[in-house]
Amino acid sequence: MHPILKLVAQRLALGLLLLFAASILIFVGTAILPGDVAQSILGQSATPEALANLRAELGVDQPAITRYFSWLGGVLQGDLGTALTNGRDIAESLSTRLGNTLFLAFWAALIAVPLAITLGLLAVRYKDRWPDKLISAITLTTISIPEFMIGYLLIFFLSIQLPLLIGGMEFLPDGLQSWLLSNLRFSSVALMNDSMTLIEKIKSITLPIMVLTLVVLAHMMRMTRAAILNVMQSAYIETAELKGLGMLKIIRKHAFPNAIAPIVNVVMLNLAYLVVGVVVVEVVFAYPGMGQYLVDHVSKRDVPVVQACGLIFAAVYIGLNLIADIVSILANPRLRHPK
Amino acid sequence: MTDPLLKVRGLKIGATIYPPGEKSRDIEIVHGVDFDLEPGKVLGLIGESGAGKSTIGLASMAYGRGGVEITGGTVEVNGRDILQSGLRDVRRLRGAEVTYVSQSAAASFNPAKQIMEQVTEAAIFQNKFSKAEAEARAVELFRKLGLPDPENIGARYPHQVSGGQLQRCMTALALCPEPDLVVFDEPTTALDVTTQIDVLAAIKEAIRDTGVAALYITHDLAVVAQVSDHIMVLQQGAMVEYGTTDQIINDPQEDYTKALVSVRSITHEEKKPTATPVLKVENITARYSGTNFDVLKDINVELHPGQTLAVVGESGSGKSTLARVITGLLPPSQGSITFDGRPLTPDLATRPLEDLRELQMIYQMADTAMNPRQTVGTIIGRPLEFYFGLKGAEKQRRIQELLDEIELGEGFQDRYPAELSGGQKQRVCIARALAAKPKMIICDEVTSALDPLVADGILKLLLELQKIEDVAYLFITHDLATVRAIADSIAVMYQGSVVRYGPKSQVLSPPFDDYTDLLLSSVPEMKLGWLEDVLAHRKMESAGN
């Protein structure tokens, strides 16, 4: 078998194993959570009998091992169970939420990843000169401000101050002014529903996209810069310089291909963050994504929902890191072209 | 007289250094060098490390490595002063008029790209040739340089060819754009001696056939004597002597040049074997875990007290593996080792302290064998504490004694490795090994990373210490001149086996087996026309090509 196939198969198997381990951790973690779902549904005044009946009905009185395997068996068949609090099918409610989260993450990534890598390349090209310092200063500033703060700042300036500003510009022709007002409108609430067109949806999440981009930019940009600078120390970069090639061409043709592995790793880590870590942004913009769904049900002690969300987050995390691993393997010419 | 292709006048080169704990300061590393190079001629630049040879070579491409900067003088290529040209013009010169062959082709090729793309890149980028023309030319050069399968080798990646082949590819890379001048920077230094000779011959032929001029930089006078028309001897950034190759080799004027020509002045009387050997290696066979071939096959050698056994061979012949087996780092799959009359356990972890103490090791890279954050005193003091429990004043006295033995003076105890020269570092490593009062020291290529004159000093010191301490050396090396200088007996290794073994006088006298003949004849000799002579009389092809 080609060594690459073998390595990739190994990684896939490891990924599945890891996911299995994560499922156990999630289950154990939710099992030892304090609180009682029956109590939280029926309230403080419920009688012990009523509580016991409800527990039996919900199946939470079974031993943990039994519950784990029946849960796992269901998950493997695509059945995530029903929410304890409202009796709805979790898979169904989750799919819309997950779709929304992925939609937001996708657009944020589409802007943030190329931007971060380009900025990283530019920072290397102008290392220790003002463009490098400016890029670092801006991205480090945005990563240092808490996300909710960036969110509220953007809402304040773009969805409140900007229309006022444009509205005050009486010197503009009426047509242009109204065009600007209708097109430069940034919604402070990221509404989402099926009747919206794609353009409308994107417009609706412009601000969350901006916040997420600003949050993940610095990490990827700094890592790209560091990885390429590391490669730039190599003797083959000197060879390229002594061929008379220009700096940008050297970075693009000779340094970047050898820096792919670390860059892909940090990109995947940030993509995972875009899916798993967006709770705050979803709350700020009232966006109907996974994060809000999870937080809501944690507070209601709705364990099956928490488990399902945890499992999906784990799968996304492991899956993206798996992709990073595999890309790193493929990027290594020694593995791709064995002797 | 034709106009010179390269005209260097008053070349001064500086660098900024950052000594630990001090302010950075500017130093001058080349102090005004002048020379001319005519089209189609080869000038050898020779000197020890730090002499400024590479720096001068790169200056002919207006390039300063690291923090190195050209601070004065003129460098004219084809009549233009390239130091006054803008970056744009300099870039048009590099890779077109002047090209570069580095010491380590393995590091100088981009691991992520095919060889052909890298060989033709400059020629295409500089608009010298179209892609098709450049590739045809590259194949032609591959053929001329004696690479196997010249049509298809360009499709390979750098890690898929051997070191010797990659060095030839690097030469093809430099010749592909039809430059006027090639700077060869130690192009054969990293190669095995039997591979070096073939690469050297290929380079020489390519230079002759293409009519290109060359700056040939090396520390090995015998090598440069084979390829150059003129030689310039450099020492500490200044010219010592300049002359035709014939004059420098046969009639050197300056003392420094004379020292270089006559290096390896050591004569060593071979000692007769004694009754009981200190080390007896019997039927050792070993392999690395996860591999399916033996790296050592049925090795039998003996080492007698106070004597030196030299183990010679090319890289990959198994000589360092033998050291790993003896030290217990790699337990053998078969065979036994007897040390000082008692059997050694195969695994390092189970050896008694006494065995560890009596068997010490010195490494090739003194740099990486010392903790950079410990002072010389701490480094040497450690085995004194560990093996003898010495403390305080007694330990200090012993450290000073050892420092005196290795001919380093009073102030060295408090210095850090970074403040020492290469030779001094190796001396500290020797002192550290001696501190344990061993019966035997394994010396693994201890002089390979050093300049010839410095290496000479280290060898003299080792012989001197052998007399005083009566310690035995297992001396691993690929350098036959070193072997001649210090060995009492010799084991020649080839592909994991000992092919020739015995007292020095016997091993080095004919009749030879084919491999020993190849090895001995490949050592460059300081005489003109040696390369041609030797190639005409070879019985066996070297394996490293």
Residue pair B144/B207 in contact (Cβ under 8 Å)? The answer is: no
Residues of chain A above pLDDT 90, percent: 32
Closest CA to B395 of B373, B380, B406: B380
Considering chain B, what is the average pLDDT of its residues?
87
**Residue B329 in contact with partner chain A when CB distance is under 8 A:** no
**Contact between chains at A235 and B92 (C-beta distance less than 8 A):** no
Nearest CA in chain A to B160: A339
A244: nearest CB among B111, B112, B122: B122
A333: nearest CB among B63, B102, B159: B159
B487: its two tokens: 């060995």
Nearest CA in chain B to A243: B95
| Residue B399 pLDDT greater than 80, yes or no | yes
What pLDDT does B544 receive? 45
Residue pair A151/A283 in contact (Cβ under 8 Å)? The answer is: no
Q: Of the given ranges (A56-65, A112-121, B85-94, B231-240), which has the lowest mean pLDDT?
A: A56-65
Q: How far is A244 from chain B (nearest CA, A)?
A: 4
Spell out which residues of chain A touch residue B109, defining contact as CB-CB under 8 Å. 236, 239
What pLDDT does B21 receive? 64
What pLDDT does B540 receive? 62
Q: Which of A232, A238, A239 to mutate to test the interface with B (most CBs of B within 10 A)?
A: A239
What pLDDT does B527 receive? 79
**Contact between chains at A257 and B156 (C-beta distance less than 8 A):** no
Considering chain A, what is the average pLDDT of its residues?
87
Helical segments of B211-336, H only: 221-227, 245-250, 255-261, 319-327
Q: How far is A160 from chain B (nearest CA, A)?
A: 50
Give me the sheet containing B25-37, strands edge to edge. B25-37, B6-17, B68-77, B80-81
Nearest CA in chain B to A260: B112
In this prediction, residue B138 has a pLDDT band, given cuts at 50, 70 and 90, of very high
Which ipTM was obtained for this model? Answer: 0.78
| Residue B45 pLDDT greater than 90, yes or no | yes
What pLDDT does A69 receive? 86
What pLDDT does B264 receive? 61
Considering only residues 160 to 179 of chain B, which have any Cβ-Cβ distance to chain A shorter than 8 Å? 160, 173
For the segment A213-224, the average pLDDT, to the nearest whole number, is 91
Considering only residues 124 to 143 of chain B, which have any Cβ-Cβ distance to chain A shorter than 8 Å? 125-126
Q: Which of B104, B108, B167 to mutate to test the interface with A (most CBs of A within 10 A)?
A: B108
What pLDDT does B539 receive? 60
For the segment A92-112, the average pLDDT, to the nearest whole number, is 91
CB pairs under 8 A between A and B: 75
Closest CA to B72 of B114, B37, B26: B26
Spatial neighbors of B342 by CB under 8 A, at least 6 apart, are none
Q: How far is A329 from chain B (nearest CA, A)?
A: 13
In this prediction, residue A74 has a pLDDT band, given cuts at 50, 70 and 90, of confident
Give residue A286's identity as a one-letter amino acid code.
A
| Residue B68 pLDDT greater than 80, yes or no | yes
Position with higher pLDDT, A238 vs B260: A238
| Residue A33 pLDDT greater than 80, yes or no | no
Q: Residues A7-26, buried b or exposed e (16+ Cβ, 10 A)? A: bbeebeeebeebbeebbeeb
pLDDT in tens, A266-297: 999 999 999 888 888 888 888 888 888 888 88
Give residue B284's identity as a one-letter amino acid code.
I
Residues of chain B above pLDDT 70, percent: 97
For the segment A330-338, the average pLDDT, to the nearest whole number, is 83
In this prediction, residue B541 has a pLDDT band, given cuts at 50, 70 and 90, of low
| Residue B532 pLDDT greater than 90, yes or no | no
Residue pair A308/A296 in contact (Cβ under 8 Å)? The answer is: no
What pLDDT does A114 receive? 94
Spell out which residues of chain A touch residue B118, defining contact as CB-CB under 8 Å. 239
Q: Would you list which residues of chain A are within 8 Å, Cβ to Cβ, of chain B?
A: 234-236, 238-246, 254, 257-258, 331, 333-334, 337, 339
Pairwise CA distance, residues B286 & B335, whole Å: 9
For the segment B509-514, the average pLDDT, to the nearest whole number, is 85
Spell out which residues of chain A touch residue B94, defining contact as CB-CB under 8 Å. 241-244
B95: nearest CB among A244, A254, A257: A244
**Contact between chains at B109 and A334 (C-beta distance less than 8 A):** no
A244: nearest CB among B91, B102, B110: B91
Spell out which residues of chain A touch residue B95, defining contact as CB-CB under 8 Å. 242-245
Pairwise CA distance, residues B457 & B476, whole Å: 18
Nearest CA in chain B to A332: B112
**Contact between chains at B122 and A238 (C-beta distance less than 8 A):** no
Spell out which residues of chain B touch residue A328, defining contact as CB-CB under 8 Å. none
What pLDDT does A113 receive? 93
Q: Which residues pair with B230 in a beta bridge?
A: B43, B244
Q: How many CB atoms lie within 10 A of CB A327?
A: 17
In this prediction, residue B181 has a pLDDT band, given cuts at 50, 70 and 90, of very high
Nearest CA in chain A to B170: A239
Spell out which residues of chain B touch residue A331, defining contact as CB-CB under 8 Å. 112
pLDDT in tens, B356-392: 999 999 988 888 889 988 989 999 999 999 999 888 8
Report helix, strand or coil for B517: helix
pLDDT in tens, B202-239: 888 888 888 899 999 988 888 888 889 999 999 888 89
B159: nearest CB among A242, A258, A334: A334
What pLDDT does B385 receive? 92
Q: Of the given ranges (A24-38, B53-67, B321-335), which has the lowest mean pLDDT?
A: A24-38
Q: Residues B315-344, buried b or exposed e (16+ Cβ, 10 A)? A: ebbbbbbbbbbbbbebebeebebbbbeeeb
Q: What is the pTM of this model?
A: 0.79
What pLDDT does A178 receive? 82
Q: How far is A266 from chain B (nearest CA, A)?
A: 21
Residue pair B152/B193 in contact (Cβ under 8 Å)? The answer is: no
For the segment A9-37, the average pLDDT, to the nearest whole number, is 86
Give phi and psi for B512, each to the nearest 5. Answer: -100, 150
Closest CA to B62 of B100, B109, B21: B100
Spatial neighbors of B526 by CB under 8 A, at least 6 apart, are B221, B222, B225, B249, B261
Q: Which residue has the tokens 């198994």?
A: B318
What pLDDT does B372 receive? 87
Residue pair B478/B312 in contact (Cβ under 8 Å)? The answer is: yes
| Residue B182 pLDDT greater than 50, yes or no | yes
- DSSP 8-state class, residue B273: P
What pLDDT does B116 receive? 95
| Residue B133 pLDDT greater than 90, yes or no | yes
pLDDT in tens, B400-416: 989 988 888 777 888 88
**Residue B61 in contact with partner chain A when CB distance is under 8 A:** yes
For the segment A176-180, the average pLDDT, to the nearest whole number, is 82
**Contact between chains at A334 and B100 (C-beta distance less than 8 A):** no
